[in-house]
């Protein structure tokens, strides 16, 4: 009788596991046609995979299945950047990914702390809260208070636990066929951490906007202004550089009527992520030296529109608490960074980033880097790195240096997108499709592609 009961129990367990692992209708308010064909799933995972902190959280995942299942080759897992960026960052580019990865199901998880997965501040980052998944001004105080009141829970939202989440998801939702993984920006850091902590069976890895080596302090987030400034200056000839320096020294600051209190240099830095708007910079500088703001106004309006087009969904908002927690815990080599140091280092910059300033005051109980920090995986699947020469977020030279460290672990190919910015599926889709589709199609991968 014992064996019968055991068999019945195993059947029930298998049935429950299969039900939990299945995809079904997405229970969100989105009626967008792009998402209509997708299905969703939610799964519980440990709050801390090492078992040092009790509790669990929920992860959300969305699937875009291949329409013609007869031609299906397998799965591509799309891992968003950030930290703090939800899977919804990919939704506006589903057609690009379809073209780059034909005949593959697209699986898009929300990292812990983002999108529809469990949040760092459950009440303030809820869909029905004051500003939805984003944080309203009045919600910051209660959110930060919650983080410090629950330090063990907060510190469990680490890269390593997120990597263990990803390993669990791939194992649970693996289906017949090839399994490949694409990561962008922070998603490349997370993918490489995944291959250190779990070594899931992957047929290929695509790294878009590869982060620099974790051990290379000169390229970490605390030095982001220097990186942004170096990329921005590549766009200016000697005359434009002189004009911008003169303009910034002008006490009249004609751009204020358009930008208000926003630093012109920060606005210019933001444009570097959008090649079509980046092209306006020299002419805009020329106009501003004549106290004209027509092109500046047009560009500012276009930048706002671009941002709105990239974040059209309720779950599109980045999780700023997670940005601060992971950035300050893992990607800041200078824990004593002060506002004075940030200002001093930005004094002579023509393009600046707000990120160093966000690292000067910890708004969360930070966690300690673990044994995986600064290391590389012992083994890599066949790997493609695709990187733009004008990437203002993950330095091109840093990506080259990281590629050299990774080569002993497996077959690594590097494809350069000349004039490409960050997140090439957005910034240079034609080059991205050409290179990525060749890679997954086992064709010859071009070493270079021109984005202009």
In-domain check, residue 422: yes
Confirm whether pTM is higher than 0.75. yes
Range of the domain at 432: 25-216+375-450
In-domain check, residue 1: no
Q: Is a pLDDT exceeding 90 seen at residue 269? A: yes
DSSP 322-342: HHHHHHHHHS-S-TT--HHHH
In-domain check, residue 348: no
In-domain check, residue 167: yes
In-domain check, residue 426: yes
pLDDT in tens, 14-69: 333 343 458 998 877 666 788 888 999 999 999 999 999 999 999 999 999 998 88
Burial (CB count within 10 angstroms: exposed 0-12, middle 13-18, buried 19+), residue 110: buried
pLDDT in tens, 215-257: 999 999 999 999 999 999 999 999 999 999 999 998 889 999 9
pLDDT in tens, 62-103: 999 998 888 999 999 999 998 999 999 999 999 999 999 999
In-domain check, residue 119: yes
Pairs from 255-262 (Cβ < 8 Å, separation ≥ 24) = 255/288, 255/293, 255/296, 257/293, 258/293, 258/296, 258/297, 258/300, 259/296, 259/300
SS3 for 4-30, per residue? Answer: HHHHHHHHHHHHHHHHHHCCECCCCCC
CATH value at residue 200:
3.40.50.1820
Residue 442 CA to residue 452 CA, distance in Å, equals 26
In-domain check, residue 33: yes
**SS3 of 443, please?**
coil
Q: What is the pLDDT of residue 11?
A: 37
In-domain check, residue 286: no
For the chain, the domain total comes to 1
Q: Is a pLDDT exceeding 60 seen at residue 147? A: yes
Q: What is the pLDDT of residue 31?
A: 65
Helices 186-197 & 159-173, crossing angle to 10 degrees? 70
**SS3 of 130, please?**
coil
């Amino acid at each position: 009788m014992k064996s019968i009961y055991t068999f019945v129990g195993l059947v029930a367990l298998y049935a429950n596991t299969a039900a939990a692992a299945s995809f079904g209708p997405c229970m969100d308010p989105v009626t967008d046609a792009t998402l209509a064909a997708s299905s969703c799933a939610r799964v519980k995972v440990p709050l801390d995979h090492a078992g040092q902190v009790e509790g669990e959280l929920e992860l959300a995942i969305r699937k875009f299945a291949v329409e013609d299942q007869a031609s299906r080759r397998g799965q591509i897992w799309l891992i968003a950047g950030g930290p703090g960026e939800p899977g919804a960052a990919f939704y506006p580019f589903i057609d690009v990914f379809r073209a780059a990865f034909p005949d593959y199901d697209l699986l898009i998880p929300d990292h812990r702390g983002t999108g529809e997965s469990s949040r760092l501040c459950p009440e303030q980052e809820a869909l029905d809260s004051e500003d939805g998944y984003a944080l309203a001004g009045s919600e910051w105080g209660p959110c930060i208070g919650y983080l410090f009141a629950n330090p063990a829970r907060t510190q469990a939202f680490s890269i390593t636990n997120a990597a263990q989440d990803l390993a669990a998801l791939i194992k649970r939702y693996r289906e017949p066929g090839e399994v490949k993984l694409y990561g962008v920006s922070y998603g490349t850091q997370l993918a490489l951490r995944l291959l250190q902590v779990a070594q899931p069976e992957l047929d290929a890895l695509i790294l878009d906007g590869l982060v620099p080596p974790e051990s290379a302090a000169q390229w970490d987030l605390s030095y982001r202004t220097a990186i942004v400034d170096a990329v921005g200056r590549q766009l200016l000839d000697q005359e434009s550089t002189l004009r911008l320096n003169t303009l910034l020294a002008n006490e009249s600051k004609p751009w204020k009527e358009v930008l208000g209190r926003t630093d012109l240099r920060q606005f210019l830095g933001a444009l570097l992520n959008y090649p079509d708007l980046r092209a306006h910079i020299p002419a805009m500088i020329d106009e501003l030296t004549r106290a004209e703001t027509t092109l500046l106004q047009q560009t500012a309006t276009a930048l706002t529109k671009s941002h709105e087009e990239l974040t059209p969904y309720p779950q599109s908002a980045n999780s700023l608490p997670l940005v601060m927690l992971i950035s300050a815990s893992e990607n800041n080599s200078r824990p004593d960074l002060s506002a004075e140091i940030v200002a001093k280092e930005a004094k002579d910059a023509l393009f600046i980033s707000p990120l160093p300033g966000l690292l000067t005051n910890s708004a969360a109980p930070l966690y300690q880097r673990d044994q995986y920090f600064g290391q590389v995986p012992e083994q890599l699947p066949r790997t493609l790195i695709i990187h733009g020469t004008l990437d203002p977020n993950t330095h091109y030279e840093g990506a080259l240096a990281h590629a050299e460290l990774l080569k002993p672990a497996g077959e690594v190919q590097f494809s350069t997108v000349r004039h490409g910015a960050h997140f090439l599926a957005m910034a240079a889709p034609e080059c991205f499709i050409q290179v990525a589709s060749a890679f997954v199609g086992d064709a010859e991968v071009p070493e270079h592609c021109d984005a202009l």
